[in-house]
Amino acid sequence: MRINRYLALCGLASRRKSEQFIAEKRVKLNGRIINDLAVDINPDKDIVTVDGKTVKPAEDFIYLKLNKPKGYVTTTNDEFNRPTIMDLVKLPDGRRVYPVGRLDYDTEGLLLLTDDGDLTNILTHPSHNINKSYIARIKGAITPEEIIKLSSGVIIDGKKTAPCHVKVLEFEEKTTRLEITIHEGRNRQVRKMLESIDKDIQFLKRVSVGDIRLGGLTRGKYRPLNKKEIAYLLGLKG
């Protein structure tokens, strides 16, 4: 992350003001004066000081990742009284977070939750082209022609899907595991794409959103994003 952006996130000053601090040689990176405005820093490792005091980003917002299990709806309350993801996330001090986008009832995996509305808008806006990867298990095999068809776009709900990336992970005992990476966020998109080529979906899980990965997070559990993950998301705000 650029140093001036980092300083601005620390609540220290606007980006322009931060540049002035740097020009005045008041900012140090790991003990050495920063002379270059274009310096990049690693928020996880580097120590930045201004006038000798360590500065860190303000941690005003909550950013979480949840491993949503199958059988939960991605809403804050459900008209049919089904379990919602809010049943899984209990925060102290009455703070509330909201899901960034959706996973359908039968789909599990990575769901980001935050109270940072600007970020939610950015991540869910189609123009931002954030890649989302899914692991799908389907019945039977998939042919190279079908992979080409899926990845070059299929018609769902009367409109062609954008090109996407499809990779066969393994084929075993009459099922195939695929990794599908899309950047659109249409309703039940991956399921509909696979259904459009007559595939029977047995399992669907989201494993990444942009650079944020589900990793080894246990099903039904959540944890705060680490500094590097937060820095990545805040970097999307530009």
Residues with Cβ within 8 Å of 167's Cβ and at least 6 positions away in sequence, in order, are 178, 179, 180
C-alpha–C-alpha distance, residues 129 and 127, integer Å:
6
Could you say whether residue 107 binds ligand URA (CB under 6 A)?
yes
Closest approach, Cβ 190 to ligand URA, in A, equals 4
User: Choosing from 104, 106, 115, 200, which is the catalytic residue?
Assistant: 104
Question: Where are the alpha helices (H) located in the chain, listed in sequence order?
Answer: 3-9, 15-23, 117-124, 144-152, 189-196, 227-236
Could you say whether residue 135 binds ligand URA (CB under 6 A)?
no
Could you say whether residue 213 binds ligand URA (CB under 6 A)?
no
Closest approach, Cβ 206 to ligand URA, in A, equals 6
C-alpha–C-alpha distance, residues 105 and 70, integer Å:
6
Token reading at 110: 């990575």
Active site residue 157: no
* One-letter amino acid for residue 148 of the chain: I
The residue among 48 and 111 lying less far from ligand URA, judged by its C-beta, is 111
Token reading at 133: 């990867």
- What DSSP character marks residue 69? P
- How many residues touch ligand URA under the rule CB under 6 A: the total is 8
Could you say whether residue 195 binds ligand URA (CB under 6 A)?
no
Token reading at 119: 């970020």
Buried b (16+ CB within 10 A) or exposed e, 146-184: bbebbbeebebeeeebeebebeeeeeeeeebbbebbbee
Could you say whether residue 120 binds ligand URA (CB under 6 A)?
no
DSSP SS3 for 109: strand
- Answer for which of 191, 210, 212, 225 binds ligand URA (CB under 6 A) is 191
Could you say whether residue 231 binds ligand URA (CB under 6 A)?
no
Q: Which stretch binds ligand URA (CB under 6 A): 12-20, 25-33, 99-107, 148-156?
A: 99-107
Could you say whether residue 104 binds ligand URA (CB under 6 A)?
yes
Closest approach, Cβ 17 to ligand URA, in A, equals 42
Could you say whether residue 205 binds ligand URA (CB under 6 A)?
no
Closest approach, Cβ 146 to ligand URA, in A, equals 17
Known catalytic residues are 104
Site residues (vs ligand URA, CB under 6 A): 103-104, 107, 188-191, 204
